[in-house]
Amino acid sequence: MQKKNRQSFEAKIDKLPDKIVYLNVNHLEKGDYELNIIHQKKIIKKTSFNKK
């Protein structure tokens, strides 16, 4: 009979956010929008969406 080889696993998770930002699309007018998330004058995330 073979001996079972036990492995240990370790995981690290990032710190959970302290603050949350909400964007309520219901209050926007119909049309095309571009959302830019900026940190220290640099765009870190850019996304587009259409409100129908």
User: Could you state, in order of their start, the residue ranges of all structural domains in the chain?
Assistant: 21-52
Is this structure's pTM higher than 0.75? Answer: no
**Percent of the residues in the chain that have a pLDDT greater than 90, as a whole number:** 50
Task: Count other C-beta atoms under 10 Å from residue 33's C-beta.
Answer: 13
Alpha-carbon distance 35 to 27, whole Å? Answer: 15
β partners of residue 31:
51
Task: Check residue 1 and give its pLDDT.
Answer: 63
Among 21, 20, 22, 36, smallest CA distance to 49 is for 36
- pLDDT reading at 2 higher than 80: no
Secondary structure letter of residue 2 according to DSSP:
P
- Assigned token pair, 30: 């119909």
Q: What is the mean pLDDT of residues 14-34?
A: 90
